[in-house]
Amino acid sequence: MTGPEVSVIIVTYNQADSIGRSIESVLSQQCDFIFEIIIGEDGSTDNTREVCEDYARRFPEIVRMMPKAPNKGVVDNYFDCLEAAKGKFVTDCAGDDTYHDRHRLQRQRDFLVERPGTVCVMSDWIIRSATGDSHSGKMDRYEEFHQDVSGQRMLELILGSRGNIPLLSAMMFRREVVADILERKPGMIRRKEWNCEDVPLLATLAAKGSFGYLPLTASVYNVGSESVSNTGNYGKLFDFYCGVADCVNTLSKEYEVDVTGKEFRRSLSERLSYLAWLLWKSPTDERRAKMKRLIGNWVTPVGMKVRVRLAMLRN
């Protein structure tokens, strides 16, 4: 029997009310090839796992559950699923999001097959919130992702971003590219202390080749549920974004990105300024130490605004 052409990763935690819709949206994909769904259920305290296991029982040829384990966090959960993937191409779907276009897997896979020099294909998505829907294709902040992008330029956009990066679940990439890095240099893509999987993954892909753009609405991204990056807890926000800042700083050095440009320097400065403000709101000795280590190894000169704020905090 031929193995799957595409692997779809679904990571989920305490999403019993939405995970069924997410799985159904992937199962409804219309393709002329075999695809698999790998579910990483991360030790939920509700009945999320029971819902997922029901789908695995009903669709054993498509749905595969990762072994039950204590809560790992999004980084280990995601990369464990990725390492278990068998498809030539990989995409994902969060446990509270859905696929929008029933032909997206087919069209994105065909795009990559026809363009062997492209490591990844990007598409558009809908941002759904309590106030309504927005379409990424009509938003200026995502304008650079509505076209093919060279690997070097994508590195600059990903690492120099102030939060505007393409949505991972609206993309598809070549598994072999990431699998090679995970085997040879895992510390440059999988680090739990970085608190994110998308930034290092996208940077790894960009370091290996260009990104293509396919104009279709791939996913619906739901905003509203609280998460580590969407919370009113200043301490949790500092802990999360400090890890992301360390990731950006480390990878900027690893991939020798030109950090002298005005926009890139401004982005890095704003990251530190925001962290300094969060630290002001939630000071602890441990967080002060984290900030000190981060600044001591920062890839660009630290601005006066950040230094003043930290000096005030010490006093």
According to DSSP, residue 49 is labeled H
pLDDT of the residue at 184: 93
pLDDT, tens digit, for every residue of 144-163? 999 999 999 999 999 998 77
Identity at 119, one-letter amino acid code: V
pLDDT of the residue at 161: 84
pLDDT, tens digit, for every residue of 58-69? 999 999 999 999
Maximum CA extent, the chain: 68
Residue 220's alpha-carbon distances to 20, 94, 101, 126, 133, in angstroms, are 15, 10, 10, 5, 9
- pLDDT score of 228 more than 60: no
pLDDT of the residue at 229: 52
pLDDT of the residue at 74: 95
Please give the average per-residue pLDDT across 207-211, as a whole number.
96
pLDDT, tens digit, for every residue of 108-120? 999 999 999 999 9
Give yes or no for a contact between 135 and 228, defined as CB atoms under 8 angstroms apart: no
Please give the average per-residue pLDDT across 124-143, as a whole number.
93
Residue 57's alpha-carbon distances to 5, 33, 65, 92, in angstroms, are 22, 21, 10, 21
Who contacts 126 (Cβ-Cβ below 8 Å, separation ≥6)? Answer: 100, 133, 134, 135, 136, 217, 219, 220, 221
Vertex 310, ends 305 and 313: CA angle to 5°? 130
Strand partners, 230: 227
**Average pLDDT over the chain, rounded to an integer:** 93
- pLDDT score of 91 more than 90: yes
- pLDDT score of 225 more than 60: no
Least confident of 92-106, 216-230, 248-262, 271-285: 216-230
Number of C-beta neighbours around residue 229 at 10 A:
14
Long-range contacts of 127-130 (CB under 8 A, 24+ apart): 127/221, 127/223, 128/220, 128/221, 128/222, 128/223, 129/222, 129/223, 129/224, 130/224
Q: Model confidence at 231, in pLDDT bands (50, 70, 90)?
A: low
Give yes or no for a contact between 56 and 19, defined as CB atoms under 8 angstroms apart: no
Give yes or no for a contact between 222 and 97, defined as CB atoms under 8 angstroms apart: yes
pLDDT of the residue at 227: 53
- pLDDT score of 245 more than 60: yes
Q: Give the highest mean pLDDT range of 2-16, 211-225, 261-275.
A: 2-16
pTM of the full predicted structure? 0.93
